[in-house]
Amino acid sequence: MSFHTRSNAVAHVAYALVRAASRLISTHASCMRRFVKRMEGVETGLDAARTSAYATCALALLALGAARHTTESLDTQHYLAHVKFLASDALRGRATGTPELEKAAAYIAKQFKASGLQPFDGKGYLQAFPVTTNAKLGTNNRFEYTENGKNSTLKFDEEFIPFNFSSRAKVSGEVVFVGYGITAREYNYDDYAGVDVKDKLALILRHEPQEFDEKSVFAGKVYTDHSQFFSKVVNAKNHGARGVVLINDRSNHRGETDQLEPFGKTAGPADGGIPFVQIKAEVAERWISNAGKNLDQISSDIDKDLKPHSFALPGVEVRENIDVERAVKTVHNVIGYLPGSTSEYVVIGAHYDHLGLGEQFSMAPSLAGTVHPGADDNASGTAGVIELARTMAAEPRPKRGILFMTFAGEELGLLGSSYYVNHPGLPLDKAVAMINMDMVGRIREGKVYIGGAGTGAGLRATLDEIVPKHKLNVDFSDNAGYGSSDHTSFTTKQVPVLFFFSGLHSDYHKPSDTWDKIDTGGAVAMLKLVAEVTARLQESDSRPQFVRVKPPAGAHGAASAGDQASGSGYGPYFGSIPDFGEIPRGVKF
């Protein structure tokens, strides 16, 4: 890391003063003890030289007093001003890939610079990366099939819909039914055993076996990662399939209508690699019955024996043209560095993007086109990073530094943070811990959730010591629970994480997530806790060693409200958690 030339002279001078003060403090450690003694009247009869030494020491003490008071200088007005700007109508919901997100990036960079942070790469505060945004349906989506020599065409939108992370491609091939499309070695379960899907289309059921069985090997009634659409398309691709055709698992959902998943509802990476569509279940059920089998029977057999009941469908051939348009845009993580006296550092991060006008992932889809301001999600965390940077940069230089980062692309699937951990500006093995704040603006009765307490040896003990000093009501989760956010990218690189979160509410991912509902006092109270935890991580003799914490029984999704405390996490691909807290049983995949 090279030092940059600060154009902000004021910040430069202030920083130099603080650095000088901190050097003074370390060289005057013993004089400080004597100074204190003198104040207590223990020492008398000072000569001129000693008086002047004491005066220097007093200055140093003053500097120390001023500098070590991050927790007092954290300020509700500063904090609120940042939230208001980021969540303003002018920023139009900060959607990744929009000019308004870039405005937010410039604003954050300006704040980092004013606080005296260094550019993370010696050059600037912005880390550019490409993002595929706005998957849109093209005009040429077709799904045709031949069954026993007879051609049929499905009606777009009524009888078939591509998923937004489907590849754009024209494919054709024979069809193989592969149960739920799951390969789960840990449960000794494989729908693909004994069938060959190479260069064919995989026909699969939604969800997973034994879905409503409390004793299901698939984590009881909670969905596992295997039920995710994205896991299924990756698994099919790994088995050589040309495409995936999904149907609702009606035998486990009697009485429900056979609804197709609307386009754009599913979070995930940009492109699953092969075409992926959903079709009306009755079409595939007919294919199966024409092959002399019965889908209900097959489903209940799978539930019973958890053995593959997969087979190639004779006489069925599918031809499809999937037209999903994408645009590639350059977006930016905003990163500033506050060096310590060693090369080790703590990461403090938050995502600054949100849903824009709510075309994707809105919890109020009927209000798409309206600004989704994302004050809590996540202007609240971003403002926290900015305010912590301002106050902590004014402190003496501790042993370890702080890397302040705000991420783009979180709502589209943790894109900014996963780009960063794969293209780190500073060596990741020097990152002693990552603190993430996502939705910290709705603290009610002091309630704060901290996930990841078990991901670093000794982290929980540190928290147990510090937390009681703060007037907060803290709930812990050892794993990175309470839903997925950017900290997940860091656990994949074995960096211990702490995830601060003030809980879900009915304005989540809606136009009603506005700045006036932010509990500024509560948020700043929480920032004081974050500051103290960070300071401890900066100064402690040893760094917390990473501990891989297993989610409970492979569970996926913090399902019901009651389940939130157990803190089951989301898979790395799902930054957005559309149904979180809304559907009693969990997240629908």
Segment interacting with Zn ion (CB under 5 A) among 47-55, 65-73, 122-130, 437-445? 437-445
Question: Is 378 a residue that touches Zn ion (CB under 5 A)?
Answer: yes
Using the minimum distance from each CB to Zn ion, give the nearer residue, 226 or 509: 509
Q: Which residues, at least 6 apart from 459, have a Cβ–Cβ distance to it below 8 Å?
A: 433, 452, 453, 496, 498, 544
Q: What is the DSSP string of 537-585?
A: HHH-SSPPPB--PPPGGGB-S--SGGGGGGT----TT----TTTTTSTT
| CA–CA dist 472, 475 (Å, integer) | 10
Give the span between the Cα atoms of 203 and 314, in whole angstroms.
13
Q: How far is the CB of 530 from Zn ion (least distance, A)?
A: 16
The DSSP H or E segment spanning 193 is: none
Tokens of 131: 């993002």
**What minimum distance in Å lies between the beta carbon of 94 and Zn ion?**
11
Residue 322's alpha-carbon distances to 232, 448, 505, in angstroms, are 18, 45, 37
We find the least distance from the C-beta atom of residue 98 to Zn ion, in angstroms, to be 16
Residue 351: both structure tokens together: 């995502």
Single out the segment in contact with Zn ion by CB under 5 A; choices: 19-27, 169-177, 375-383, 553-561: 375-383
Q: Would you say the C-alpha torsion 339, 489, 269, 369 has a positive or negative sign? A: negative
User: What is the closest distance, in whole angstroms, from the C-beta atom of residue 230 to Zn ion in the complex?
Assistant: 18
d(CA 410, CA 334): 13
Does residue 261 touch Zn ion according to CB under 5 A? Answer: no
Name which of 411 and 519 has its Cβ closer to Zn ion.
411
Shorter beta-carbon distance to Zn ion: residue 228 or 417: 417
**Is-contact 250 281, C-beta < 8 A?**
yes
Bridge partners of 402, per DSSP, are: 338, 346
Nearer to Zn ion, 70 or 489 (CB): 489
**Would you say 111 or 378 has its CB closer to Zn ion?**
378
578 secondary structure, DSSP code:
T
By beta-carbon proximity to Zn ion, the closer residue of 394 and 443 is 443
Whichever of 326 and 510 has its CB closer to Zn ion, that residue is 510
Residue corresponding to tokens 């799902």? 574
* CB nearer Zn ion, residue 210 or residue 417: 417
**Smallest separation, CB 411 to Zn ion (Å):** 5
Closest CA to 564 of 502, 487, 496, 482: 482
Lookup: tokens for 353: 């993007």
Q: How far is the CB of 512 from Zn ion (least distance, A)?
A: 14
DSSP 364-414: -GGGTTS----IIIIIHHHHHHHHHHHHHTTS---SSEEEEEEESSSTTTS
As measured in angstroms, the least distance from the Cβ of 442 to Zn ion is 12
Closest CA relative to residue 306, chosen from 143, 473, 193: 193
Decide: residue 7, CB within 10 A, 0-12 exposed, 13-18 middle, 19+ buried. Answer: exposed
User: Shortest approach of Zn ion to residue 551 CB, angstroms?
Assistant: 19
Binding track, positions 399-428, relative to Zn ion; x by CB under 5 A: ------------x-----------------
| Cis peptide bond N-terminal to 321, omega within 30 | no
Q: For residue 330, what is the enclosing H or E element?
A: strand 324-338
- Span near Zn ion by CB under 5 A; candidates 76-84, 243-251, 378-386, 427-435: 378-386
Interface with Zn ion by CB under 5 A: which range of 93-101, 303-311, 433-441, 495-503? 433-441
Q: Among residue numbers 173 through 232, which ones bind Zn ion (CB under 5 A)? A: none
Calpha distance 362→360 (Å, rounded) = 6
Q: Is 91 exposed, middle or buried (0-12, 13-18, 19+ CB in 10 A)?
A: buried
The two tokens of residue 122 are 């010696």
How many CB atoms sit inside 10 A of residue 3's CB?
9
Q: Which is nearer to Zn ion, 320 or 438 (CB)?
A: 438
Report the residue number, 438 or 478, with the smaller CB distance to Zn ion.
438
DSSP letter at 418 equals H
Q: What is the CA radius of gyration of the chain?
A: 28
Select 248 or 382, whichever has its Cβ closest to Zn ion. 382
What is the number of other CB atoms lying within 10 angstroms of the CB of residue 72? 10
Q: Which positions from 491 to 530 touch Zn ion by CB under 5 A, shown as an x/- string?
A: ----------------------------------------
Least distance from C-beta 437 to Zn ion, angstroms? 9
CB closer to Zn ion, 208 vs 377: 377
Q: Is 353 in the site for Zn ion (CB under 5 A)?
A: no
377 touches Zn ion by CB under 5 A? yes
Pick between residue 344 and residue 411 the one whose CB is nearest to Zn ion. 411
Q: Which stretch binds Zn ion (CB under 5 A): 123-131, 286-294, 434-442, 475-483?
A: 434-442
**Least distance from C-beta 577 to Zn ion, angstroms?**
7
Residues whose CB is less than 8 angstroms from the CB of residue 63 and which lie 6 or more positions away in sequence, other chains included: 18, 21, 22, 24, 25, 396
Interactions with Zn ion, residue window 438-457 (CB under 5 A): 438
Does 376 engage in binding with Zn ion (CB under 5 A)?
no
Q: Which stretch binds Zn ion (CB under 5 A): 84-92, 226-234, 275-283, 436-444?
A: 436-444
Output 18 or 408, the one with its CB closest to Zn ion.
408
Give min distance, CB of 554 to Zn ion, in A: 24
Minimum CB separation from Zn ion for residue 351, in Å? 6
Length of the chain: 589
# of chain residues touching Zn ion (CB under 5 A): 4
CB of 358 to Zn ion, least distance (A): 11
CB of 7 to Zn ion, least distance (A): 33
Binding footprint of Zn ion on the chain (CB under 5 A):
377-378, 411, 438
